[in-house]
Each structure stands twice: as C-alpha cells, then as structure tokens.
Amino acid sequence: MYLDCFDDVRELTKELVRIPSVVKTRGEADCAQRIHAFYRQLQYFRDHPEYLLFKQTEDDEVERYNVLAMVKGTKGDSKRTVILLGHLDTVGVDDFGTLAAHAFGPDTLPKLLRELPPGDEVRGDLHSGEYMFGRGVLDMKSGVAGHMCLMRYFSEHPEELDGNIIAISECDEENNAHGIISALKVLRRWKREHDLQYIAGINGDYSTPYHENDENRYIYFGTIGKLLPAFYAVGKETHVGQAFGGLDPNLLVAELTRRINLNPDLCDQAQGEVTVPPISLKQTDCKDHYTVQTAIAAYAYYNVFTHSMSPKDVMGKMKAIAVGAFDHVVQHTNSSYQRFCQMAGHVYTELPWKPRVYTWEEFYDELIKLHGETFTKHFKDFAADMHRNNPAMDLRDFNVRMVEEAWKWATDKSPAVIVYYASTMYPNLEMTGETEKEKRLMDCVRESVDTLKTYSSKPVVTKMFYPYISDSSFMAISGEQADYASLERNTPAWGVKYRHPYEDIAEINVPMVNIGTYGKDGHKITERVHMRHTFEHIPNITYQAIKRLLD
Ligand SMILES: [Zn+2]
C-alpha cells in the first residue's frame, strides 16, 4: 500500500512552522500544545486519553513540554513497540536579519528571498517550486508532521499492527537535551505499566546532500557521537616589558588549536565511514579588562565527533596532544629567548617552564590528597551554590568556573593545562547488525526502501552513521559502562548540573534509524525542504518499516 499523504503533511508542516518554537522560548510550549491538540481530537485518543501525554520537562529552567502518543495495535497480542522520535524546537532566526519577522511564513518568505542575491542553486530551487522555505521546515517540523499523519493513520487502522507505536514530539533538541532526557522517564514508566518491549526507534531528523551534484537521498542507521573536550591553561603572568618573564597561556591554547583544529588524525573511522575532524568552538583568555599584564589563564574547547571512540579514548588523545603542545611551547619560548638574548647582548639561561598536564580526574584526586575533606566539602558547596544562584548558567561556563575554583586550591602554581569535558555527551551508536534487534531493523528498513524505488526518481542510499548530531544518541547504550566512567570523572559539573541518563537509556536501548526530512541549508536563512521526498516518500518508507517491524 502507498499512502497518499503529500497534502496532509504539507499543510501540517506549514501550520507547525507558523508557530515560532525557537529553543528556550515560550514558543516551544505553544508548538507542543498544538501537537497535543492534534492528537486529542482524534477519536482514538478520545477513547484512550491515557495513551496521550502533554508532559513538562524535569529539572529544567525553561517551562516546556514533550508530547507522547501511543497507539496499540490489535492485530495480535505482541508487546513489541516501535518509537518514533522528532523534535519540535528550532534554532533561532538571527541569520534572517531584517527578514526575521518572515522566518516562520512559508508562503511569504519565497517572494522576499527572490529579492536577495542568492546563489544559483537557491535561485533554481526557488523557481522549481519543489521546495518549501522557512525556519524549521527542514529541521524538522516536516518530520514531526509526517509522524503525526502516520500516527493518525495507525490510530484509525490499529488492526494493521501486531505491536505498538509511540510517537515522541520533544522540545530542547537544539540546546541541552532536556526534552529527550525527560521523555526517557515516560518511556520507562510505559514500559513497566504496559509491559512493552521496545524493539526499534525511528528518528525523523533532517538529511541533506553532501555536495552540489549529490542527487542521493540518505537514510542512516545509528548516529555519530560528539564530545566537547576543553583545556584550561594556566600560564605565568608578566608585564609586557618583561615578555620572557612569564609563560603566556594564550600561546598554549593557540598551539592546542593548531594541533587539534581540522586535524585528520583525529577523524574517527568505523564501517568505512569517517567523521569530519574537530574544530574549535571557543578560545579565549580569562581577562575581563585591558591591562599590560599578560593573561593568567586561558581556555578553549573543541567539537570532537566520534564513530567508535569512547570518552576514555578521546581523553587519552587530548591529554597526549596537550603534553606535546606544552612541550612545544616551552621549546619555542626558550629558542625565542635565546635569539633575543643574542640580539640584545644578554646572557641566556634556560627558562624554568616544564610541561605539566592533568586530566580533571588526576587534578581533582591530587587536590583531595592535599586537602582531604576540607576541599571536597568546599567544592561541593561551591558547585551547589553556583547552580542554585544561577540555574540557567551555560553548562560550558559552569564547568570552567569549577576548574577555576579548583585551581585556587593547587599548591604548585607553576603553569599547567587541565583537560576536561565541558558539555553534554552525545554517544555514537554504531550498528553492526550483530544483535537480532539490529539485524531486524536493518532488514526491514532496506526492504522498505526497495518498495519505494518505483515512486522515487532519486536513489535512496543507506549509511551507517547519522552525521549531524541528534537525540538518537540518547536511545541506546553503546560501548561499556566503564567508557562512560571517564566522562563522569572528567566532567567537573557532573552530578550537579549534568549527568548522562545511563540507567534510563539502558531500559530503552533500541537500535536507531534516521528516516528523515530532506532539503538544504539547515540552520541558514535559505533553509528549505524538498516537498515530494519529505511529505510523501519519507512517510511511506517509515510506514513500510513500521509494518514490517510489527508484522
Ligand atoms: Zn534537527
């Protein structure tokens, strides 16, 4: 069977896009409310109101909601359950500049974009009439709309399913993952209350061509992972007139960036697919006003993608890089000093700097050895107070404040670099097909793609890692628990402001596939979704996959 859903998904997408739901704004709740209203008016949820939830997130400084809806199949008595995942929030609209007011108007925006000087490709797509423009059309309200139409269909045809489907429309995907982390708790509760057996998850997040002439459409098993290793570098301050009297932490951080940024040695390869290399997301010193004294400390953090590396692996690599960078800076500073001494007629003596690098775990243990409980108590109180006083504080800022505070307790104040994790981990999910669940999902999706061949003129290709970071990361446990221990012990804010929901995930633990929206320029003013593929082909592939999984 082939669902004739194009018009329904298009209209629903427009309606959702017109509700601005930029992450961390009131709009997230508005959009959730609209989705909830859609489900509530369906006869199925009037008959089964307990299968529909409008649920506020937990431990969150923003008031926002997830919507969860469950349809129980009546074809048999199987407890097998497939989870559909989609996020209702979008990124902001700063990129729209003076057109920001029209970012959420899929009907008016194309006319305004015609007046801009866009590249040839955008112009071509505008005139083709094949695309819908607007913030969130691609990432990923059209995906949520597709899931809603499928849920409506199955709510009217539960007799097609031997098993159940749950659709999650979640908030806060673009920022701190409060949506998915809270949704996991509901999934755990429903699992217990309805004796569910979770067998697979289908995310609908966006996909995009890899280059201008790439005609393929992509479906991804598993997902890329992401870590944010950070480096806090303490130097030795000096007056600019005695430049060799100190060690500049900015130079240490600059050398780290030179070694880490775009370094192909740090690409992670698995199953023939490779991540893009790391790139810096912040690099700054800790001075808050101008002086002629050099900085005392500086820090930087880097996005590191993973296909198979664990937090332990990445920490090992980052520490090794820090040792090499520190050593290089000491040598460089000495050789500069030597040349300067020759030029100025001074006597050169070797500078006192020695490479000194700790992981956060090593540094923290050393402080405990030095100060015992006085330190641990102070440090716990400091963290709790900071969180209480400013619950909305950025997690990256929170972590660096923790390192700064700890440094005050160091007795050896000679220059050092402390390596730690500064943000939420998105674990990689690598699917090998070795477990029964994985194999079944992969077979069902590949068969479903085959059934679409007669409808789509473009090739639909499956790959092994969703490449753009998504909440699929929170649906399964990958690797060993010991791998996560390195994350816990190297994240200063752990347990206060952040912790990976390992136990909740372990209860769900499903293989994931991304059967997602397709378009171009996600997170840009020219964000656009390809309508035929996204409003018709994608829901049909998803429909086929669900039917096969719950046959
Ligand atoms: Zn997305």
CATH, residue 287: 3.30.70.360
| Degrees, nearest 5: CA angle 279-430-461 | 90
**Per-residue pLDDT for 61 more than 90?**
no
Ligand 1: centre distance to CA 534 (Å)? 14
Same domain assignment for residues 275 and 406: yes
Ligand 1: centre distance to CA 189 (Å)? 26
Ligand 1: centre distance to CA 482 (Å)? 29
Same domain assignment for residues 321 and 260: yes
Which of 404, 421, 438 finishes a domain? 421
Residue 69 lies in a domain: yes
Same domain assignment for residues 364 and 439: no
**Per-residue pLDDT for 481 more than 80?**
no
**Nearest one of 116, 147, 130 to 5, comparing CA atoms:** 147
Structural contact between residues 335 and 248, judged by C-beta atoms closer than 8 angstroms: no
Ligand 1: centre distance to CA 360 (Å)? 32
Mean pLDDT of 461-465: 97
Same domain assignment for residues 431 and 541: yes
Return phi, psi of residue 273, to 5°: -120, 145
Lowest mean pLDDT across 119-123, 161-165, 257-261, 439-443: 119-123
Structural contact between residues 73 and 161, judged by C-beta atoms closer than 8 angstroms: yes
Return phi, psi of residue 421, to 5°: -100, 135
Query: 273: phi > 0 → left, psi -120 to 50 → alpha, else beta; which?
Result: beta
Same domain assignment for residues 212 and 234: no
Mean pLDDT of 122-132: 93
Ligand 1: centre distance to CA 139 (Å)? 5
Q: Which long-range contacts (CB under 8 A, 24 or more apart) does 328-332 make?
A: 328/255, 329/247, 329/251, 329/252, 329/255, 330/247, 330/354, 330/355, 332/251
Ligand 1: centre distance to CA 522 (Å)? 8
β-partners of residue 82 are 165, 200
Q: What would the pLDDT profile of 133-159 be if each residue is shown by its tens digit?
A: 999 999 999 999 999 999 999 999 999
Residue 489 lies in a domain: no
Same domain assignment for residues 133 and 214: yes
Same domain assignment for residues 199 and 98: yes
Ligand 1: centre distance to CA 159 (Å)? 32
Same domain assignment for residues 431 and 417: no
**Per-residue pLDDT for 483 more than 90?**
no
Structural contact between residues 252 and 325, judged by C-beta atoms closer than 8 angstroms: yes
Ligand 1: centre distance to CA 400 (Å)? 28
Residue 502 lies in a domain: no
Structural contact between residues 490 and 361, judged by C-beta atoms closer than 8 angstroms: yes
Ligand 1: centre distance to CA 393 (Å)? 23
Ligand 1: centre distance to CA 178 (Å)? 14
Ligand 1: centre distance to CA 28 (Å)? 14
Residue 185 lies in a domain: yes
Mean pLDDT of 120-126: 88
Ligand 1: centre distance to CA 135 (Å)? 11
Ligand 1: centre distance to CA 143 (Å)? 9
Same domain assignment for residues 301 and 252: yes
Ligand 1: centre distance to CA 50 (Å)? 28
**Per-residue pLDDT for 85 more than 80?**
yes
DSSP state of 466: B
Count H helices and E strands in the chain, helices first.
Answer: 17, 19
Return phi, psi of residue 547, to 5°: -60, -40
Ligand 1: centre distance to CA 224 (Å)? 14
DSSP state of 533: I
Mean pLDDT of 406-414: 97
Mean pLDDT of 510-514: 98
% of the chain surpassing 90 pLDDT: 92
Q: Could you tell me the pLDDT band of residue 478, with boundaries at 50, 70 and 90? A: confident
Residue 19, pLDDT score? 98
Ligand 1: centre distance to CA 533 (Å)? 17
Ligand 1: centre distance to CA 172 (Å)? 10
My answer on whether omega of the bond before 386 falls inside 30° of 0, hence cis, is no
Q: Could you tell me the pLDDT band of residue 93, with boundaries at 50, 70 and 90? A: very high
Ligand 1: centre distance to CA 500 (Å)? 20
Mean pLDDT of 4-24: 97
Residue 492 lies in a domain: no
Ligand 1: centre distance to CA 184 (Å)? 18
Same domain assignment for residues 25 and 128: yes
Ligand 1: centre distance to CA 504 (Å)? 22
**Nearest one of 193, 195, 192, 186 to 163, comparing CA atoms:** 195
Residue 384 has a CB neighbour count (10 Å cut-off) of 12
Average pLDDT of the chain to the nearest whole number:
96
Mean pLDDT of 107-131: 86
Q: What would the pLDDT profile of 279-296 be if each residue is shown by its tens digit?
A: 999 999 999 999 999 999
**Per-residue pLDDT for 118 more than 70?**
no
Ligand 1: centre distance to CA 205 (Å)? 5
Structural contact between residues 36 and 54, judged by C-beta atoms closer than 8 angstroms: yes
Ligand 1: centre distance to CA 544 (Å)? 23
The CATH number of the domain holding residue 124 is 3.40.630.10
Residue 121, pLDDT score? 87
DSSP state of 257: H
Which of 383, 404, 421 finishes a domain? 421
Residue 437 lies in a domain: yes
Burial of 139 (0-12, 13-18, 19+ CB in 10 A): buried
Token pair, residue 371, equals 């100060």
Ligand 1: centre distance to CA 468 (Å)? 8
Ligand 1: centre distance to CA 87 (Å)? 7
**Containing structural domain, residue 66:** 6-224+427-479+507-549
Ligand 1: centre distance to CA 530 (Å)? 15
**Per-residue pLDDT for 332 more than 70?**
yes
Ligand 1: centre distance to CA 133 (Å)? 16
Return phi, psi of residue 496, to 5°: -100, -55
Residue 183, pLDDT score? 98
Lowest mean pLDDT across 110-114, 198-202, 542-546: 110-114
**Per-residue pLDDT for 453 more than 90?**
no
% of the chain surpassing 70 pLDDT: 100
- Total domains present in the chain: 2
Ligand 1: centre distance to CA 86 (Å)? 8
Which of 386, 404, 421 finishes a domain? 421
Residue 237 lies in a domain: yes
**Per-residue pLDDT for 163 more than 70?**
yes
**Per-residue pLDDT for 316 more than 90?**
yes
**Per-residue pLDDT for 479 more than 90?**
no
Ligand 1: centre distance to CA 140 (Å)? 5
Ligand 1: centre distance to CA 430 (Å)? 19
Residue 485 lies in a domain: no
Coil, strand or helix: which one is 454?
Answer: coil
Same domain assignment for residues 312 and 172: no
Same domain assignment for residues 515 and 434: yes
- CA dist 522 and 527 (Å) reads 5
